[in-house]
Amino acid sequence: MREKLQKFNPDQIKIVNNSVALAEELVSNYYKMSASQWLRPKYDVKTLADLNPDETVHDPFAQIIRYIGQRKDTTLGSSTYDFYKICLQDHSILSALRRSPGLSLFPFTLYIVTHELIHIVRFSKFLQNFDASPEENMAEEVRVHKYTHDILNEVQVAGMSEILKFYDKWHNRIEGFEG
């Protein structure tokens, strides 16, 4: 079944790579992180072509999976670290673009990757627990959508206003979860 899912083509991969680079810069600037601090939250961004079957989901545009990393030159448990993998779901993203012709790939993936990077920064800075309760996860989603909106609302990217409107349902979605 996974083989039949639509993957990004080479031109789309270039667009996604550009959106990842800009998202990294924007999130780094927003959190005022230096280059050395930015490398601390170890992560990677992968598309469907590079995902394992258990990293593929069918509704979200992306998911973050946390793995435990360890340097190759050590066996001490104290040298382990969290490694986050942003798993972009090409098929879900492309399907949404087909259903919403006003959206385009670059600003859409810029929003998605910015959103996921904010989660990773918040996990890495212990501002949010990766294994939080469903209620706290929902509150965190609302917060992260707000931060994503705040960051991208200032960016001059063609098509961004349409993406922000697409995500308006998350902006102040649930009263009481502003925290």
Q: What is the DSSP string of 36-71?
A: HHHHSS-EEEE-GGG--GGG--SSSSEEEEEEEEE-
pLDDT interval class at 37 (50, 70, 90): confident
pLDDT (mean) for 63-91: 80
Looking at the structure of the chain, the number of domains it has is 1
Identity of the residue numbered 54: D
Q: Contact 87/63 with Cβ under 8 angstroms?
A: yes
pLDDT (mean) for 77-91: 84
Would you state the structure tokens that stand for residue 139, as one six-digit string? 């509150």
Q: Contact 139/179 with Cβ under 8 angstroms?
A: yes
pLDDT tens for each residue of 119-130: 999 888 776 767
pLDDT interval class at 131 (50, 70, 90): confident
Cα four-point dihedral sign 39, 8, 99, 56: negative
Torsion region of 22: left, alpha or beta (phi above 0 gives left; psi -120 to 50 gives alpha): alpha
pLDDT value of residue 72:
67
**CA dist list (Å): 21 to 39, 45, 64, 161, 167:** 14, 11, 18, 20, 21
Q: Contact 61/53 with Cβ under 8 angstroms?
A: no
Residue 27 lies in a domain: yes
Domain membership of residue 71 as a residue range: 2-170
Residue 177 lies in a domain: no
pLDDT interval class at 35 (50, 70, 90): confident
pLDDT (mean) for 144-161: 94
Residue 179 lies in a domain: no
> What does pTM read for this prediction?
0.86
pLDDT interval class at 176 (50, 70, 90): very low
The whole-chain average pLDDT of the chain stands at 85
d(CA 7, CA 109): 14
Residue 175 lies in a domain: no
Q: Where are the beta strands (DSSP E) in the chain?
A: 43-46, 62-70, 80-88
Residue 76 lies in a domain: yes
Residue 74 lies in a domain: yes
Q: Evaluate if residue 45 carries a pLDDT over 60.
A: yes
H helices then E strands: how many in the chain?
A: 6, 3
pLDDT value of residue 78:
63
Q: Evaluate if residue 115 carries a pLDDT over 80.
A: yes
